[in-house]
Structure formats: C-alpha cells, structure tokens
Amino acid sequence: QVQLVESGGGLVQPGGSLRLSCAASGSIFGIRSMGWYQQVPGKQRELVAVVANGGITNYADAVKGRFTISRDNAKNTVYLQMNSLKPEDTAVYYCNLRTIFKENWGQGTQVTVSS
C-alpha cells in the first residue's frame, strides 16, 4: 500500500504564491513519475505538472513559467511551487505517483485564488 499525504493548499490573493507538498510512504517500488493534477467541479482531472525519472518535467501550457515542480527522491516527496496565481487556478489539486505496478492518488488539497 502507498500513502500520499498532501499539504500546502489554501486561500491566496491573485498574484500570490503557494507551495504544495506531497509525501509518499509505504510500499514504494519502481517509481516512474510523480506529479500534480487539478480538478474543478464538473470537469475531468487534468495534468498540471509531472516529473519523471531523470528529472524530466512536463507542464500544462496554462502554468508554464508560473509553476515549478520538483522532487526529492530521498524523501519520496514532490513539490509544486505556484507563483503568480490566477483565479482560474482555483481547483482541488491531487498528487499522483505512478509506479510500474499502479497509479496512486492523494486525497486532494483545495487551492482557492480570490481577492
């Protein structure tokens, strides 16, 4: 079993910053990637950013230049630094860990960007 514990969400004003963290624990073998997805009511969960083995990253076009994903392999933790936040970034953010065996999801953390 893999557990993913997210933290760092909250309410922030437009133009502000937040840093999300996701720590993985349990039986973790064969990690392929760790990443973040967002979901708003009535829509499908969408990729925000992912970091694969070797440090290869991929970002949604909407967040390029504003968000930065990083990973601490020793701690099995992935971070998402979110700068210049916009109201349209408001969503529940889910941590994702993909191994050679299965895909794992965190419980989600709410990010609200509003004045």
Residue type at position 61: D
Name the nearest CA neighbour of 111 among 82, 75, 76: 82
Task: Give residue-wise pLDDT tens across range 65-96.
Answer: 999 999 999 999 999 999 999 999 999 999 99
Chain-centroid distance, C-alpha 46 = 11
So what's the pLDDT on residue 27?
84
Assess whether pLDDT exceeds 90 at residue 1: no
So what's the pLDDT on residue 29?
85
Task: Give residue-wise pLDDT tens across range 19-77.
Answer: 999 999 998 888 999 999 999 999 999 999 999 998 999 999 999 999 999 999 999 99
